[in-house]
Structure 1
Amino acid sequence: MQQAVQQSTDFQNISAMMNSLNVHFYAMLLARDTGIFINHAQARRTWTQTQTNVRLRLPQMNTFASFESAFYYMIS
């Protein structure tokens, strides 16, 4: 009985962990597609790059450069 309860709680913990991983993964996809997450270093770098240009590409300041940087931002 005790072992069955332990196995069920383990399964619940693993399920909850997988659910949170899925949520983070979809959040990363959302960030990549819409740029709602702000990577501050990337934003500062983009700002200094675009200051020299005539036209500021403002929407790019809040977007990740790549999916890898979004993933690194999520795990760091």
Structure 2
Amino acid sequence: MVRAKKPKPQIANNIRRLRFDHDEMTQKALAEATGVTRQTIMAIEAAKYSPSLELAFQIAQAFGEPIQNVFSYQPDGTED
């Protein structure tokens, strides 16, 4: 019997839209505001890396948004 591969849970985010809404903030500016590299922001934005809880809160704070407006959990691996 072959089992279907279960989708990997994913942390979805609205970082790209929020950066655009905040005077087209660059990934570099967000990285500097949160103390990480631009590459880290790029990976999070592309959903290739899930941030730590602390970093997720720092990103939300940089936008002045509640964390649930920035990140959402997709248990079945699908994006909204």
> When the two structures are superposed, what TM-score results if normalisation uses the length of structure 1?
0.29
Kindly indicate which of the two structures has a greater share of residues assigned to helix.
Answer: 1
Kindly indicate which of the two structures has a greater share of residues assigned to strand.
Answer: 2
Indicate the structure (1 or 2) with the bigger Cα radius of gyration. 1
